[in-house]
Amino acid sequence: MAVNITPAPGRTRVRHKVVAMTMVLGAILYLDRVTISVTRPYVARDLNLTATQMGYVFSAFYFAYALFEIPTGWWADRMGTRRVLTRIVCWWSAFTVLTGVAFGFASMVTIRFLFGAGEAGALPTVARTFSRWFPRHERGRAQGTFFMSMHLAGGLTPILVTALLAYFNWRTLFAMFGSLGFVWAVAWHRWFRDSPAEHRRVGAAERELIESGLAADTGHALDATEWKRLLWNRTVVCLCLMYFTQAFGGTFYVTWLPTYLATRGLTGMTAGILAGLPLILSSAADLLGGFTTDAAVRRFGLRLGRITVGGGALAAAGLFTIAGAFAESPVLGAVLIALGGGSSNFLLGAAWGSCVDIGGRRSGAVSAAMNTSGQVGAILSPILVAQVVSRFSQWSAPLYVTGVLFLLGSLCWVWVDPTKPVSD
């Protein structure tokens, strides 16, 4: 139950500090997640792991992440994001540190599974935080800024890890990076409050601005969750199907893209830059897409403001990706594919903003359902891409599949209506 506190004097912008805190969180999240892919050769060498065993190590994370996403999002709805996000970060940080003490295949798979279980729910919990701290017309930019920090960190992590490996071994790096999460968790728990009404530094004007745009989004969801009604809501189903296609394509960029570039004769620094280009463009697309959907909401209304940005972004991603597969120039093809990756992430502000719009007090559960669908796409993507290449004997084939999936995902936005809460 919210505690009424006398508002601080003057104009305040505490909600912007909330975004700043989540940006640091997003950077740490991707730092801890991506490090193992960069240190893979050293991990495999020291633990005597085959390529297939390393594949199971990677998959263990995604499987646990998908398995625990919805339960953790539901927990955040009931308990509040201050406590739940603190637990999430402490949990995944502990298993980041423990990754460095793995002694074999079984221990590494177990640790990475538990790491994924701990990290699950982080994104829905952040979305739930924004539902309490931001009026609807600012949620897209808040989500976009958060995702920008994640993708920018993901793009810079390989450079950072490569540089540090000259001075530290991989076990030490996991201990160092895992420790950062504990520092953040302590700062978050001490400073953050579940609602502006509970925070002493929120001024009257800021509190009025936030609360006037929350509608029914206040309080914790303490009553029973009608899961059947929530998960079979038309908008929720369409968001889940859309996000499956988005994550399927996004996983291709961070798994098989370097291999595809090599088959087109791109190697060395050129290949490295082009392989990282989708994430670099995505960091800009995250922020710009968030501001764009909020501007569109103000101009065209909530529904058009979300679906035009979300559907348009996926349609552009599909066209860019297919065009990249047709391009005769390898560099031009790689640039077009990267533009497809950036376009696919342009929708994140609209997608996660829609979850908050319709979720209200159950924003954590709704956004967790969407993200779980995305994780299913992420799990299947590497496997299906390999099978498609094997079946058609050409690397352009999975690009066509990815592009078509993007286009189908864009159609899902036609049936998304963020003006109708799941409780209606």
Are 396 and 256 spatial neighbours (Cβ–Cβ below 8 Å)?
Answer: no
pLDDT band (50, 70, 90) for residue 78: confident
Domain assignment of residue 380, yes or no: yes
CB atoms < 10 A from the CB of 219, how many?
Answer: 16
Domain assignment of residue 350, yes or no: yes
Overall domain count for the chain: 1
pLDDT band (50, 70, 90) for residue 221: very low
Share of the chain above pLDDT 90, in %: 42
32-46, 81-95, 307-321: least confident range:
32-46
Q: Could you list the residue range(s) of the whole structural domain that residue 312 is in?
A: 14-415
The rounded distance, in Å, linking the Cα atoms of 189 and 409 is: 38
The rounded distance, in Å, linking the Cα atoms of 196 and 275 is: 42
The 3-state DSSP composition of the chain as helix, strand, coil percent (nearest 5) reads: 80, 0, 20
332: domain CATH number? 1.20.1250.20
Share of the chain above pLDDT 70, in %: 93
Across the chain, mean pLDDT equals: 86
pLDDT above 50 (res 224): yes
Are 216 and 420 spatial neighbours (Cβ–Cβ below 8 Å)?
Answer: no
Residue 123: per-residue pLDDT: 85
Domain assignment of residue 421, yes or no: no
241 or 141, higher pLDDT: 241
pLDDT band (50, 70, 90) for residue 357: confident
pLDDT band (50, 70, 90) for residue 404: very high
DSSP labels for 140-208?
HHHHHHHHHHHHHHHHHHHHHHHHHTTTS-HHHHHHHHHHHHHHHHHHHHHH--SSGGG-TT-BHHHHH
Torsion of CA 409, 413, 414, 420, to 10 degrees: 150
Task: Give the residue from 276, 17, 258, 246 showing the smallest Cα distance to 152.
Answer: 276
Domain assignment of residue 360, yes or no: yes
pLDDT (average), residues 118-131: 87
The rounded distance, in Å, linking the Cα atoms of 87 and 107 is: 23
The pair of three-digit structure tokens given for residue 154, joined into one six-digit string: 């993901």
Are 276 and 155 spatial neighbours (Cβ–Cβ below 8 Å)?
Answer: yes
Q: Which residues contact 223 (CB under 8 A, 6 or more apart)?
A: none
Domain assignment of residue 140, yes or no: yes
The rounded distance, in Å, linking the Cα atoms of 208 and 224 is: 30
4-13, 252-261, 382-391: least confident range:
4-13
The CA-based angle 110-121-223, given to 5 degrees, is 125
Domain assignment of residue 200, yes or no: yes
pLDDT above 90 (res 110): yes
356 or 292, higher pLDDT: 292
Domain assignment of residue 152, yes or no: yes
pTM for this entry: 0.75
pLDDT (average), residues 186-201: 92
pLDDT above 60 (res 61): yes
Domain assignment of residue 252, yes or no: yes
Q: Which residues contact 114 (CB under 8 A, 6 or more apart)?
A: 64, 95
